[in-house]
Structure 1
Amino acid sequence: MGMLPRVSGLFVSFFFFSCSVASPDGFLHCLRAKSVPSELVYTQSSSNFTDVLASSIRNGKFFTNATVRPLCIITPGPGDASHVQAAVLCGRRQGVRLRVRSGGHDYEGLSYRSSARPSEVFAVVDLGANLRAVRVNRYDSTAWVDSGATIGELYYAVAKNESRLAFPAGECSTIGVGGHLSGGGIGMMMRKHGLSADKVLDAKLVNADGELLDRAGMGEDLFWAIRGGGGGNFGIVLSWKVQLVQVPSTVVAFNIAKTVAQGAVEILTRWQDVAPCLPNDITLRVIVRGQQAMFQALYLGGCVPLVAMMADQFPELGMTSTDCQPMTWLQSAATPFLSFGTNGTLEEALLDRSTSLSRSNKIKSDYVRRAISKAAWEDIFPWFTKPGAGFVLLEPHGGFMGSVPAAATPYPHRNGVLYVMQYLVGWQQGDDGTAATAWIEGLYELMGQHVSKKPRRAYVNFRDLGIGENDDAGTFEGGEAWGESYFVGNYRRLAAVKAAVDPTNYFRNEQSIPPLR
C-alpha cells in the first residue's frame, strides 16, 4: 500500500490514555470531525450493527446476550489509512480502546469482545470489511496483501497471477491475513518454507501515536515484534509485503486412515520419529478422532518419488500409488483438511467468507519435544470415546523450521520441536458445552506429563485464556504465565518493544503484550 499517506506525528504526541475518562459520545464526534464517513461507522443503534458484528464471528459462544459489545464498529475504507489513524487518535483522546479484527478466528474472540472487563468502553476496527486487496508482482515473486484479506483470497490471487507461485500459510481459507501473520502462521508448507511470518518483507502499520509507518519507519525491533508477537499488541497492521515461493505444477496429497484395530497406536508412535525428519518437501500430519488416526500429507512433487520415500522411511503406513491424489497447489489449498472434496467451485471454496453461529468451540495447544511412548498413547486413545469428545491435530516441525534460531522471530518453537498439538472440541447451539469442555480440560491435564515443560508451551494463534490473563495493572509480571508459554525467551524482548512503542499500553486486551517497566 505504497500509495497510503504518512501522517505527521506533530499533533499526536500529547495524547494520554485513561479508561476512567472514557467518552463514547466524544469518540464518535471525534471520528466525524476527522472525516471518517458515517457509513463506515456502525454504532449500537445502527440497524445493521448486529449483522456487521456477527459477520466474521467464528465461535457461537461469543455471540450471546452476555457478550460485551463494542461501542461501535469502524470499517476503514479501502486504501485509506486515515480512517484507522483517526480511530487511534480519537480513541486515545476520548479514552476508548480499540480491538482489531481481520478474519474473526481469534479462538477467544478478543478481536471483537471484552472478556473480563464488562465496563470497558472499546470499539472494533474491522479490517475484513473493506481492506482486502491483494497486489501480486509476479516479476519479483512478491505481493502486498491487506490484513483484512483471507488466506484463501491471497492463495487465489497469487495462483491466478502465476500458477507456479504460492504462499506458505494455514489450511483454513477463511483465516484473516492480519491475525495469521501476526501470530506466526503455521501450515502445510512450513517444513519447506517456514512460517508465514518468515516470508514478511515489509508492512504498513498505524502505531499508538496514529503514525503510518513502513518497515524503515518503524525500525527493526518493531518489525521483528509484529511478525509473530500476536495480533493487536503494537498497533494496527494494514498490509503486508510477502515473499512468494515456487511450487511445482503438480503436487500430491493423500489421506490414509488407520483404526486402533489396524495398528493406529503403533503407527502414530512411529510417526513421531519419522514426520519431523522426512525431506522438507513433505508435511505429514495426523488427526486423531474416535478410535482412528488419519494420516494426511502434502508433497511438493510427484507420486513415484513419494511412494518410494514412504516405502523407505515409513513402511508402517502402507502407502501405495493408489493413495496418491495429484492436483495443483491451489487445489490442495482449496480442499479443507485435505478432504479432497468441496461444495461448489474452487473459487467459491477459497473466496467464501461465510460463517455460522450455530456451533461453539474450545481449543488448546501443546508442543511435543520428546516422542510420547506407545504405552502412553494406549492410555490416551480411550479419551476419544468419552462424552463430548473432540479431536487432536498433530502438525510436524523439523525441516526448515529446525534451521531457524528461536529468536529470529517472536515464534520460538523451532529447533527441538517434534510437532505442535492442537486440541479441538465443539458443540451445537442449545448444548451448554459442559461435556465438551470437561473433555478437553481433562485431556489437556492428562497430556501435561507428556508435552513440553517449564514452560508448558502453546501457540499464540491458538489463543487460550486458560493458560493465563493479564492482571488489572497490565504488568510484565502479570503476563508471564501466558507470555512465557507462547513466546518462551522472546516474551521479555516483546515487552521491551511494547514499552518503546506503546508505553501507555493503549493497545491492550486480556492477553496483550504488557510494557516492560
Structure 2
Amino acid sequence: MSKPCFGYLSFVVLLLAVLTLSVAEAADSAVHDTFLKCLTEKTKMASGELSKIVFAQNNPSFTTVLNDLARNERYRTAQTPKPVLVVTPLKELQVQGTVICAKTAKLQIRTRSGGHDYEGVSYVSKEPFIIVDMFNLREVTVDVKNEVAVVQAGATLGEVYYRIWEKSKAHGYPAGVCPTVGAGGHISGAGYGNMVRKYGMTVDNLIDAKIVDAKGNLLDKKSMGEDLFWAIKGGGGGSFGVIVSFTIKLVPVPEKVTVFRVEKTMETKVTATDLLVQWQQVAPTTDHRLFMRVLLQLANSEVQKGKMTGQASIVAMFLGGADEVVSILGKEFPLLGLKKENCTEVSWIESVLWWNDGKSLENGDKPETLLDRNLNSSSFMKRKSDFVEKAIPKEGLETMFETMIELKTIGLVFNPYGGKMAEISSDATPFPRRKGTLFKVQYSVSWDDPSPATAQENTNGAKKLHSVMTPYMSSNPRGAYLNYRDLDIGVNNFGPNSFEEGKVYGTKFFGKNFDRLVDVKTKVDPENFFRNEQSIPVRASKA
C-alpha cells in the first residue's frame, strides 16, 4: 500500500484543526449565550447595558480589558489560557448575578482588583473560566467624624490614600506602598505597609466587609458570621467568594512625618553586612513609630572596576520629626550614621508619593498622581517570600551577598516587625506571623527579555537564593506570605488528594490557622466553587 503524500496529510491536519477550532468556538458561544441569558434574568439588564460590562473573546475590547490589569508579563503571552468572558460589574447586584450565572454555565470564577498577583492566579486558569474584574467598583467613602471609610474592592491603594487626604490631613491608612495595588486582594490577603509596626497589618484595621458567597448572597459581617469574617481577614477572599467592599478604620498621622534613605556597600567603612547585623537588633525593637525597610541589591564596585558588590539601603519612615528620629537612632543604631541632612520632613500624603517613587517630590508630583491606575503596564517577574525568627549571622549575610553577585539579578527586601505586631495573637486573623517574627523577606527579580530561556534563568535564580537562605529562615513549616503569591511552594489539582495538596501550601501561609480556614471553607462553599491553585480546600470526606 502506498503511503499518503505529505500534501494530503497536511490537508487532513489542517481540516482537523479547523474543525476543532470551530467546535471550541461553538462551545464558547453556547456558554456565552447561556451566561448572558442567565445574567439578563438575574439583573434585569437590557442587552445594551450588558454589552458594557461583559466582554467575550470576539469583542474588539477584550484584549485591552484583559491586559489592562494583568501586571505580570509572564501571563500575558499568546499561550496563556484566556477567559471565556471578562465581566466588569458596575453594581453589587451584577456581582451576585455573575456568581450565580457562572455556576449555571459551569464556568470557574477568578476575581481581580488591581492585578498585582505575582503568579497571575487572579486572571489565569486551566479550566474554562471568567474573570470578574472589579475595577469599576472603586468608590471610597470617607467618614472623618467616625474615622472610617468604605472602600470598594476595585479601588487602588492610591485612590484610598487620596480620598482620605481629600477629607482629612490628620488621618491615613496602614496599607502597601504601591499605589496601583487593588484593595480587594491586598486587604483580604492580610496586607501591610510602612505603618505596620505602629498599627499592625492592614487587615488588623478592618471593621466590616461585604462578600458575595457561592449561592450569590450578598453578606456583611453580621450576616456572614464571625467565622467567615475572620477567614477573609487574611485568608484570601478568592477562596470564599467575591469581596465587594471593606469598611476600614482610619488611623491618626502627625502633621509631619520623616523619611530617609541611607546606603552602604560591602566596600564602605561600615560595610553592608555590619549594618545588617545591627539593623536586625534595632529594626524590630525600636520605637513603634519607626519603620526601616532594607533593600538589598547590587552596585558597581568602586574598588574593582567592572565588578559588582553588595549594597544595603535603609529606606525608612518615622511618624514624627527629624530631630527626634536622629536622636533615637544615634543611640540605638550608631552604625547607620543618620544625620538630619539625610532626612526629609513631609506630610503623610507626600510620604506616600515618596515611597512610590523617591523622585516624586523632586519632580513636583501632586497627590492626584495617586489616581493614575497605570493601565496596561507590566514586566516579567518572579517573587518569593520568607520569615526570619532568629537574626541571620554575619557569615550568613556574606553568603547571601556572594550568591546575589553570582546570580547578578536577584534582590531582597527585609521588612521589620515588632511593635504592634508583637501585641496581636497569632490566631486573631489567619495571618499567623506575629510575636517571635523579626522580619519578612521578599525575593525579587524582574526582566525584559521575553525568551523562555531568560525566564527559566531568572526563576531558577530566585529558587537558588531561596534555597541558600534555608538555614536562616523559619521552619516546620517554612513560612510564606499569601500576598507574595508563589506557586513553587505547592499547588492544588483538586483531585482525590485535594486536602493533602492544600495542606502543603496552606500550613506555610497560615500555620495552625489552616485547619480553621478549612472548616470555614467546608461550611460556606462545600462544593469548592471558589478555587484556585492555592485556595483553601474543603475538608476531606470521611465517607
1:231: Cα distance to partner? 3.2
Identical positions, percent: 41
- Contact kept in structure 2, 1:60 and 1:429, CA below 8 Å: no
Given candidates 446, 460, 464, the residue that maps to 1:438 is 460
Separation in 1 of the partners of 2:498 and 2:372? 40
SS state of the match for residue 385, structure 2?
strand
Could you tell me which residue of structure 2 aligns to residue 102 of structure 1? 113
Q: Which has the higher helix share?
A: 2
1:241 maps to 247
* Contact 1:152–1:174 under 8 Å retained in 2: yes
Correspondence 1:322 to 2:328: no
CA-to-partner distance for each residue in 1:388-410, whole Å, 9 max, x for gaps?
A: 51210000000000110000000
Provide the rounded CA distance (Å) in 2 between the counterparts of 1:472 and 1:383. 37
Residue segments in structure 1 that go unaligned for 5+ positions in a row: 1-21
Partner of 1:492: 515
In structure 2, distance between residues paired with 1:106 and 1:93: 27
Task: Tell me the amino acid that sits aligned with residue 208 of structure 2.
Answer: D
- 1:152 alignment partner in structure 2: 158
Q: 1:338 to 1:354 in 2, by over 3 A?
A: closer
Aligned to 1:390: 410
CA deviation profile, 1:80-99 (whole Å, cap 9, x unmatched): 21101111111112211111
Decide which of 488, 492, 504 is 1:466's aligned counterpart.
488
- Structure 1 runs (4+) deviating above 6 angstroms are none
Distance in 2 between residues matched to 1:355 and 1:268, nearest whole Å: 37
1:275 and 2:283 aligned: yes
1:126 Cα deviation after fit? 0.4
Q: Residue 60 of structure 1 aligns with which residue? A: 73
Letter of the 1:351 partner, please give it. Answer: L
**For the structure 1 residues 229 and 158, does the alpha-carbon distance in structure 2 shift closer, same or farther, using more than 3 Å as the test?**
same
User: 2:233 is matched with which residue?
Assistant: 227
CA separation in 1, counterparts of 2:489 and 2:407? 24
Which one-letter code corresponds to 1:275 in the other structure? A
Q: Does 1:49 align with 2:49?
A: no
Partner of 2:131: 124
2:322 corresponding residue in structure 1? 303
Residue deviations 1:25-50 (CA, integer Å, cap 9, x gap): 32232123333522110010101000
Quote the Cα distance in structure 1 between the aligned partners of 2:138 and 2:371.
Answer: 11
Total equivalences in the alignment: 489
**What is the DSSP-based 3-state SS (H/G/I as helix, E as strand, rest coil) of the residue aligned with 1:222?**
helix
Give how far 1:438 is off. 2.3
1:309-388 to structure 2, matched below 5 A, reads 309-337=328-356, 339-341=358-360, 345-357=365-377, 359-388=379-408
Deviation of 1:337 after TM superposition, in Å, equals: 4.9
Indicate which of 85, 94, 99 corresponds to 1:88.
Answer: 99
1 CA distance for matches of 2:253 and 2:240? 33
1:139 aligns to 2:145 (yes or no):
yes
Q: Deviations over 1:335-379 (max 9, x none)?
A: 235624366632343111114556200000000000000011111
- Specify the SS of the correspondent of 1:160: helix
Deviation of the 1:252 alpha carbon = 0.1
Q: Does 1:214 align with 2:220?
A: yes
Pair 1:355–1:259, CA change in 2 (3 A): farther
Return closer, same or farther for 1:257/1:355 CA change in 2, 3 Å cut-off. farther
For each residue in 1:312-339, what CA deviation from the matched residue of structure 2 results, as whole angstroms up to 9, or x when unmatched?
1001100011111100011111123562
Q: 2:434 aligns with which of 414, 419, 443?
A: 414
Matched-pair contact (CA < 8 Å) for 2:157–2:181: yes
Q: Is the contact made by 1:31 and 1:90 (CA closer than 8 Å) also made in structure 2?
A: yes
**Alpha-carbon RMSD:** 1.4
Counterpart CA distance in 2 for 1:337 and 1:267 is 24
Shift of 1:230: 1.4
Task: Provide the rounded CA distance (Å) in 2 between the counterparts of 1:348 and 1:107.
Answer: 27
Secondary structure, counterpart of 1:334 in structure 2: helix
1:189 Cα shift?
0.1
Task: Verify: 1:510 aligned to 2:510, yes or no.
Answer: no
Q: What is the distance in 1 between the residues matched to 2:476 and 2:189?
A: 21
Decide which of 8, 30, 33 is 2:38's aligned counterpart: 30
Q: Residue 210 of structure 2: SS of its match in structure 1? A: strand
TM, length-normalised to structure 2: 0.88
Q: Which runs of 5+ in 2 are unaligned?
A: 1-29, 299-309
